[in-house]
Structure 1
Amino acid sequence: MGTTLWIVDINVDGLWETPEIRQAANFLREGEVIAFPTETVYGLGANATDSEAVKKIFEAKGRPSDNPLIVHIADPKQINELVDEVTPIGKQLIEAFSPGPISFIFKKKEGVFSDLVTAGLDTVAIRIPEHPVAYALLKAAAVPVAAPSANRSGRPSPTSAQHVMDDLNGLIKGVIDGGETGYGLESTVVDCTGEVPVILRPGSITADEIKEVIGAVIVDPALKNETEAPRAPGMKYRHYAPDHPLYLVDGSLELLQSFVNQFKRDGKRVGVIATRENLAKIDADAMIVMGSETDLSSIAHSLYDSLRKSDVLDVDVLLSLCFPEEGVGQAIMNRLRKAAGNRVLTESDLFG
């Protein structure tokens, strides 16, 4: 299959009426799969009501079909057509944060979605993206669009059209290039079916921000306890992994250097993913910069790009320091742990 690449200007008025967006929207309605930018990462979209179309998402990604997908829509008014009930907390959160990088889980309305979208669950995750290209495509397509991240399953999520082409060229119908994404991490996923919102996946909309609106929030125990089964889309299987084994170091810069030295003594070439401030303070075989330690949002923005860049390094292992789990730091560490397969090194691993 030939994959079309459409390059669009996100600042054009009436973007949904441009030839590129109209062609991509027509392909979506015809049952094809299209990658497009959102404010979080690039998504891989298909008509959420068409099982044959949704099946193409799983085939392209190599993703197990028992993993639910997030449904993207252009207008909050469409939610009532898709879910059984918009709960009071759901209404509050939609008014506060949508459009934006947050997904809401409600009880699904029967007979609307392909069963592949919800993976047999009685709930569905709905998101209203704020990216102008995503909005234009959804408005032009006029169908709910199921869209996980547009990467091969297990790989770091894509934050540019080139990342998508690297993974999926020849496997999907087209990619809309709307430049780099903004936040760089997938949306916060919140279960809104009860009286208190439950964060199933952390993202750029933080627990503290949700508390300011609702007054209380619960964080899913599965985010801390690996024995719990995650209930959020995209959280069940190994994700975000670079080609080289990644180890997280829970400690100081000096401890990180000690592990670099230990791996070197074992004959390994070592790469380090570091912040701008620490780049010159570490002696390793290769270095990649990942944002600033004074701005966690810059780390979130560049996280996946840094993991992808590490694939071309001539190294045997990768190391990265841990980050404070406050605000967006919780989402950063959630993704890093998954990328590392929960390999976290402490001082006891060095000297024990």
Structure 2
Amino acid sequence: MNVSSLQILPDAAQGYDQAATVLRDGGLVAFPTETVYGLGADACNDHAVARIYDAKGRPSFNPLIVHFANLDAVKQHVKWTAEADLLSQTFWPGPLTLVLPKKPTSPISRLVTAGLETLAVRMPAHPTARSLFTAFGGPIAAPSANRSGQISPTLASHVIQGMEGRIEAVLDGGPCAVGVESTIVGLTDKPVLLRPGGITEEQLRDCLGRPIAIRKNAEAISAPGQLSSHYAPTAAVRLNATEWNAGEMRLGFGDVACDLNLSPQEDLVEAASHLFDYLHRLDSKGHPVIAVSPIPHHGLGVAINDRLSRAAAPRDTGS
């Protein structure tokens, strides 16, 4: 697949309308959410959804998240539950994805669900994304707008670098504030944390009034973002580095001499917002290894460490 030119669309009514037209015509549009840039297609168009997998080089057994403008639209496609109601009232719009049984009447492509009987749904808070959803008027399937397994994009320039020639347009809404993907919670039985992200385990527990179960890595894929190798730069990644080796690019945290520092003040929110952009920057230097300081494993640190451990894992073909 080769798309002749990539349109950079403005964060304005004209850009939203142009992006919606591209989607209606079966094209692919990257757009910002509060987490990362998504690669959007009409979720009800089989050919358009297939193009997402092709553009990313993504395996077809890895399901996609579908994004919606409002709660009424979500409920047309999934079987709603009391836990879904509680979580959505607390965290939507925002960086939370819910996995629920898909209604048999839903016209969403089975390519989106990778053959599963469940659907991953989300209502992003980013105003640019919400304006696009309103202009388009339907569900948009959107994984992160990067090549399969590589670093997720938090700037339009990251998308252009990785996807030019593969997609029709990028809606440039500036940098993504959260910087790590959405938290995913499965709600087909008891609530299960399937992927840590912008909403912490502690926040979920406080909302539900009880601890939430956590998916074991050995379990079958049931939601996006669960493959062991993911978010990976070209360079190898060395974790929990307390000393630096010669020839490494150094990604620091806290009071440490380094090439780029996720947060000198040890602020996990700041660190999450910088994570993918700084990995992009260090990877562009061409060094064989990126060494990363230890990150505290609580709050957003759980999501940061999840992304880093996948970036450091042996490489596979997933995204």
> TM-score of the superposition, structure 2-length normalised?
0.93
1:105 maps to what in 2? 99
1:11 maps to what in 2? none
1:90 aligns with 2:93: no
2:253 maps to what in 1? 275
1:236 maps to what in 2? 227
> How far apart, CA to CA, are the structure 1 residues paired with 2:37 and 2:290?
25
The Cα shift of 1:293 comes to 4.8
Higher helix share: 1
Pairs aligned (count)? 311
1:210 to 188, 204, 207: 204
The Cα shift of 1:113 comes to 1.3
Contact 1:197–1:216, Cα closer than 8 Å, also in 2: no
Q: Larger C-alpha radius of gyration, 1 or 2?
A: 1
> How far apart, CA to CA, are the structure 1 residues paired with 2:251 and 2:221?
28
Tell me the amino acid that sits aligned with residue 169 of structure 1: E
1:76 maps to what in 2? 71
Cα distance change, pair 272–107 in 1 and its aligned pair in 2 (3 A) = same
The Cα shift of 1:218 comes to 2.6
1:340 to 286, 306, 312: 312
2:59 maps to what in 1? 64
> How far apart, CA to CA, are the structure 2 residues paired with 1:182 and 1:25?
24
**Relative contact order: is structure 1 or structure 2 higher (C-alpha 8 Å, sep ≥ 6)?**
2
The Cα shift of 1:107 comes to 0.2
2:41 maps to what in 1? 46
Deviations 1:288-335 (A, max 9, x none): 222235210111000001111111225222211221211111100000
**Alignment RMSD:** 1.7
> How far apart, CA to CA, are the structure 1 residues paired with 2:261 and 2:112?
37
1:126 maps to what in 2? 121
The Cα shift of 1:7 comes to 2.3
Contact 1:22–1:140, Cα closer than 8 Å, also in 2: yes
1:292 maps to what in 2? 264
Cα distance change, pair 242–219 in 1 and its aligned pair in 2 (3 A) = farther
1:82 is paired with a residue of what secondary structure? coil
The Cα shift of 1:342 comes to 6.9
Contact 2:253–2:295, Cα closer than 8 Å, also in 1: no
Contact 1:35–1:150, Cα closer than 8 Å, also in 2: yes
> How far apart, CA to CA, are the structure 1 residues paired with 2:263 and 2:181?
17
> How far apart, CA to CA, are the structure 2 residues paired with 1:103 and 1:221?
15
Cα distance change, pair 217–121 in 1 and its aligned pair in 2 (3 A) = farther
Identity percentage of aligned residues:
41
1:4 to 4, 7, 10: 7
> How far apart, CA to CA, are the structure 2 residues paired with 1:292 and 1:192?
38
2:160 maps to what in 1? 165
Moved more, 230-239 or 181-190: 230-239
> How far apart, CA to CA, are the structure 2 residues paired with 1:5 and 1:171?
14
Cα distance change, pair 339–183 in 1 and its aligned pair in 2 (3 A) = same
2:20 maps to what in 1? 25
1:278 is paired with a residue of what secondary structure? coil
Moved more, 304-313 or 153-162: 304-313
Regions of 4+ moved over 6 Å: none
1:249 is paired with a residue of what secondary structure? coil
Matches within 5 A, 1:117-196: 117-194=112-189, 196=190
Contact 2:37–2:176, Cα closer than 8 Å, also in 1: yes
2:165 is paired with a residue of what secondary structure? coil
Contact 2:195–2:226, Cα closer than 8 Å, also in 1: yes
Identify unmatched segments of 5+ residues in structure 2: none
Identify unmatched segments of 5+ residues in structure 1: 9-14, 251-255, 344-352
Contact 2:205–2:212, Cα closer than 8 Å, also in 1: no
Cα distance change, pair 124–29 in 1 and its aligned pair in 2 (3 A) = same
Contact 1:48–1:146, Cα closer than 8 Å, also in 2: yes
1:313 is paired with a residue of what secondary structure? coil
> How far apart, CA to CA, are the structure 2 residues paired with 1:296 and 1:177?
26
> How far apart, CA to CA, are the structure 2 residues paired with 1:311 and 1:189?
28
> How far apart, CA to CA, are the structure 1 residues paired with 2:54 and 2:165?
12
1:245 to 217, 233, 236: 236
Cα distance change, pair 147–249 in 1 and its aligned pair in 2 (3 A) = same
1:220 to 192, 211, 214: 214
